[in-house]
Structure 1
Amino acid sequence: MLPLIRLLQLASPVLPVGAYTYSQGLEWAVESGAVRDEAAAARWIGDLLEWNLARFEAPLVAELIRAWDEEEDAKVAALNADFLASRETDELRAETVQMGYSLVRLLADLDAFAALPGRRARLLAVETPSFPAAWSAAAAAWGIPVDMALPAYLWAWLENQVMAAVKAVPLGQSAGQRLLATLGARIPTLAVQAAALPEGEWSNFTPGLALASSRHETQYTRLFRS
């Protein structure tokens, strides 16, 4: 049961990495009127879940876990660099760098991670670690298999997006739970597909997200940092 407990810790909204301060463009989508109710929030978040997270970030996390497990640190560095390069705006890049930095600091101080032979040194050797690179390092170190890790990673992202929608649209708590139930039901299938997706087929082609994020950078009033 210990890997499950560690996974719950990694996916917890109280993980101190600042995820709750980011909306990933959703705040601008609300400001522009593209997202104004529960149905629109479901479309926006669901499309990003399927076409961005499940087709790029989740497969990358799966490959990072394998690379950490097999001590392919050059592969870890390459995948980390690929993810940083995939961030289309300054704020999206700053988000993953800040969250990655915070998680690395946390893991480096946690005996449950730092005491494992070589893990701390290998993680600290990654230049400008992104959040997926740090998160996957913990998953690999704690023996969490990919088929458990990916659903949790996707769920943590979904939960943060729904809570951002609850605050920004705004939506009620019941609406938030309906979104989590409906969109969460898609995660098992998406996680299986992500784990098997060849690297040559990865894609984060979501121009709406890039435009929303770039507009958000100059939005006059903001609750969120992205």
Structure 2
Amino acid sequence: MESMDAVSAAGEVDFSLLALFFQADWVVKLVMLGLLGASVWSWAIIIDKSMLYNRARRAMNRFDKTFWSGQSLEELYQTLSQRTVTGLDAVFVAAMKEWKRSHEQNASSPIGLQARLEKVLDVAIGRESDVLEKNLGFLATVASASPFVGLFGTVWGIMNAFQSIAGSKSTSLAVVAPGIAEALFATALGLLAAIPATIAYNKLSSDSGKLTARLESFADEFSTILSRQLEARSKR
């Protein structure tokens, strides 16, 4: 009979998500809010990076088509230097700017010019790579830390459940269920934040690496083209 009363009493407890939040201890509430905020911010980063990488791929494809179309480097530089550039455009403009500056100053050392061009290309690639990888570290942190933060909330909630048992001197389901439910809710929020962040981090890191590889590949090709022109001028 007592068992039936306990189940009936437990059934009267509100186990909706909002009710579990408002009934939770303040520490568990902070854990839940932190995990929820981390999840929302992670999704904002995921959407932003996905759109950024799609734009970057399209821009690189357009630049490749234009660059290898036979248009002169000077004409392409004049076109791109008049607007804000990113990706391959930015790498190209940075190298061409150093190339033109060196020739305007009558740089006499081909070796020095080649070294400066390679340095400029490395700096431009590093700058673009930083933009691509920005905020990916936050996803990695959420992916690794959220389960443990959720576990902390779970442990705290279970401790509160045991305190309720000790205070009421009863092990009925009505006494234990709310605290256990709060604890499990914190665990669920931890997984809710961690799982998408883990999947997205792996995918976006791979995409970022591929885009950076394209930048480096173009830099090598463009450096070779400029090196040939430099040798041709030095023989005149």
Calculate the TM-score normalised by the size of structure 2. 0.28
Between Structure 1 and Structure 2, the one with more helix by share is 2
Q: Highest CA radius of gyration, 1 or 2?
A: 2
Calculate the TM-score normalised by the size of structure 1. 0.29
Which protein, 1 or 2, shows the higher relative CO under an 8 Å CA cutoff with sep ≥ 6?
1
